[in-house]
Chains A and B, each alone.
Chain A
Amino acid sequence: MIRLPPYGEALGIEPIRDEHSRLVLKLPFGNHVSGRPGFLHGGAIAGLLEIAGIMSLYDQLGEDDRPQVKPITVTTDFMRNGFPKMTYAAGIITRSGRRMANVESFAWQDDESKPIAASRMNLLLVRK
């Protein structure tokens, strides 16, 4: 399994594989990810989505291809409130080329078909 970035560890993210062996990130609820009382913080959701996108890209590229990933544009859409419970996120690699990767990620709580937030990232890949 790929190692989380320090910010992922600080958020308390846990990477798992679902039944289709897809990489899914779990974010357990805690004070450090809460916003106004009774809700998950939008910034914590944005952080989870960013890490889900980048880790899914690394997962698809495989261990022998580890470019430095530089976010160029990051757009986060917030669709539903996040509640104090487990949050999941997974990434979709729309395109992964030599220099650019276009990645989407979605976060959900009880039902994956009802995402709470999504992000779209255009990432510059730097290979030495």
Chain B
Amino acid sequence: MNEQVEEFRRKMAAGEVSARDFIEVVARHNHNGLIGSRYVDEGENWIELALDYDVKLVGDRDSGILASGPITSMCDMAAGLAISKTSGRFLMTVTIDLRADYLRPAKVGNAVHGRMECYRCTRNVAFVRGHAHDGDPGDPIAQITGTFMFLAPLS
């Protein structure tokens, strides 16, 4: 399975596959397969993914509210793709840090969407921000910011 993912990464780097196709293959494997994020939409410098409600992703048994981890995972993946939109290339990045501010809990049963935009790319570092919502983008559940480093500095 990893060969297929690697082939997709190579094609992404060559600009031969869309972010949508990439997500649809990658999201079926590994940790992304466990959380099951899916493609929703994209723009010039942003990507939106979504995570369907799943009881195995719950962080608090009594309330049934999703754990923070899967939301972070989804936003991390969306951020990586948003960076490729802004830099114009699909490059390997590593997360330096990611912060989520939870404005309110997600409604139990609702899918959680994560929209991340890359608003600045330097030679070494990409800066991202975004939000997560559970149906109404005007009423977000979380505000997210992060920084990423390119595995090889941009030339």
Q: Which residues of A contact B (CB under 8 A)?
A: 3, 5-11, 31-37, 41-44, 46-48, 50-51, 54, 68-78, 81
**When chains A and B are docked, how far (Å) is the Cα of A6 from the Cα of B35?**
12
**When chains A and B are docked, how far (Å) is the Cα of A70 from the Cα of B141?**
12
Contact in complex: B102, A32 (CB < 8 Å): no
Contact in complex: B69, A77 (CB < 8 Å): no
Residue among A6, A31, A48, A81 with max Cβ neighbours from chain B (10 Å)? A6
Contact in complex: A77, B73 (CB < 8 Å): no
Known: A7-B67, A7-B70. A44 touches B5 (CB 8 A): no
Contact in complex: A75, B98 (CB < 8 Å): yes
Among the 9-residue stretches B12-20, B38-46, B56-64, B81-89, the one with 4 or more Cβ atoms under 8 Å from chain A is: B56-64
**When chains A and B are docked, how far (Å) is the Cα of A72 from the Cα of B99?**
10
B136 within 8 A of A: no
B47 within 8 A of A: no
Which one of B57, B100, B102 contacts A10 once the chains associate, using CB atoms below 8 Å?
B57
Contact in complex: A35, B72 (CB < 8 Å): no
**When chains A and B are docked, how far (Å) is the Cα of A107 from the Cα of B63?**
27
Contact in complex: B31, A5 (CB < 8 Å): no
Which one of B59, B62, B70, B72 contacts A76 once the chains associate, using CB atoms below 8 Å?
B72
Known: A35-B30, A43-B77, A71-B68. A7 touches B98 (CB 8 A): no
Given contacts A6-B59, A46-B76, 8 further A-B contacts (CB under 8 A): A8-B67, A10-B56, A32-B31, A33-B31, A35-B31, A44-B31, A46-B69, A51-B69
Contact in complex: B99, A43 (CB < 8 Å): no
CB neighbours (8 Å) of A48 from chain B are 69
- Closest B residue to A41 by CB, please name it: B31
Contact in complex: B35, A43 (CB < 8 Å): yes
CB neighbours (8 Å) of A54 from chain B are 59
B110 within 8 A of A: no
CB neighbours (8 Å) of A3 from chain B are 61
Contact in complex: A78, B61 (CB < 8 Å): no
B33 within 8 A of A: yes
